[in-house]
Structure 1
Amino acid sequence: MGAPHTSRNRLVTWGGRLIVLYGTAHTVGALTAEGAARHAGTWFSGQLWNEELASMSPAMSAYWLSINSFGPPMVLLGLTVLWLNRRGIPPPRFIPWALGAWVVVGTVVAGPGVGQDLLLLAGSGLILAGTRRAPASVELPEGPHASRT
């Protein structure tokens, strides 16, 4: 038994999916198209442990571009939004606002990308629109799965 599938839920679902798509595409693209994966042997051999960021090697650069970039956390953020939505819990409004602000600041600092930032702005907008009429607080169910604080 879940929350009814309303238009609000669909907006949040699509917003979460766009965020997952963005994070996945960035990470997989860096590993494959940018060739970051060819440095995996260096990453897992401990050769980066004493390297300084100021003198970034190609292996360290590839690491920061791929598995230590914002891509994996974006996937987790999008999956969290989807998880909340499936349970009828509206995501907190600070998520789309903060994500949108981050994209705007990044665009001001580095210039517009090839359109990839539009995915995050669209995802943020969809989530914000989907949570616009959601209650400010949600009572979580009691039970063995409930958080104990």
Structure 2
Amino acid sequence: MIKWAGRLVVLYGSAHTLGALTALGAASHAGAWFSRELWSEDLSDMSPAMSAYWLSVNSFGPPLILIGLTVLWLNRRGITPPQFIGWAMVAWVVTGFALAGPGVGQDLILLVAAVILVVEARRAKARDRLAPPADTAAGSVQHRRPAAR
């Protein structure tokens, strides 16, 4: 399930970023971005080029891709991602719902991924309580689970 959560987060971040650049036309402002037009702009007077920049390149899409890839990387090594990642994503999505209303379903994808991460982290914690790892001599216990099939 963790693999699916990571994939959903990567999908969401990629779709948001690439969709903004292509379908919403943000890439058409790349000339302004690379000519340093944005350097002297005031955020309170957001131009279309600045708005396109914040919607695409400087949105939360690229960091979501990194979070999803990190979740997948941890999963491949048999390490359960920490619970705070899922809870932070839940808080972020719920805050977005409260402030701007639900999106066109894409927010639900991120919420599902976040809930999966929370549930799987809790399961790993419960497993660790039942059967503590044999190698605790170093004092640091990683939440490892059996390799994915």
Letter matched to residue 98 of structure 2: V
Q: Is 1:113 matched with 2:103?
A: yes
Q: Show the counterpart of 1:30.
A: 20
Identify, as 1 or 2, the structure richer in helix: 2
Give the CA RMSD over aligned residues.
Answer: 1.5
SS in 2 for 1:39: helix
Equivalent residue in structure 2 for 1:85, among 75, 94, 107: 75
Verify the 8 A CA contact 1:42 1:59 in the aligned structure 2: yes
Letter matched to residue 115 of structure 1: G
Verify the 8 A CA contact 1:15 1:124 in the aligned structure 2: yes
Verify the 8 A CA contact 2:90 2:111 in the aligned structure 1: yes
Letter matched to residue 4 of structure 2: W
Verify the 8 A CA contact 2:32 2:49 in the aligned structure 1: yes
Q: Show the counterpart of 1:101.
A: 91
Q: Indicate the structure whose relative CO is greater, using CA pairs within 8 Å and at least 6 residues apart.
A: 1
Q: Deviation per CA, 1:68-122: give whole Å up to 9, x if none.
A: 0000000001001111111111100000011011100110111111111101111
Instruction: Identify unmatched segments of 5+ residues in structure 1.
Output: 1-10, 141-149
Q: Is 1:42 matched with 2:46?
A: no
Q: Give the ranges of 4+ consecutive aligned residues of structure 1 lying more than 4 Å apart after TM superposition.
A: none
Stretch deviating more after TM superposition (126-135 or 30-39): 126-135
Letter matched to residue 105 of structure 1: T
Q: Give the drift of 1:130.
A: 1.9
Q: Give the drift of 1:54.
A: 0.6
Q: Give the drift of 1:67.
A: 0.5
Equivalent residue in structure 1 for 2:44, among 54, 58, 80: 54
Aligned length: 130
C-alpha distance in 2, partners of 1:56/1:139?
45
Letter matched to residue 67 of structure 2: L
Letter matched to residue 42 of structure 2: E
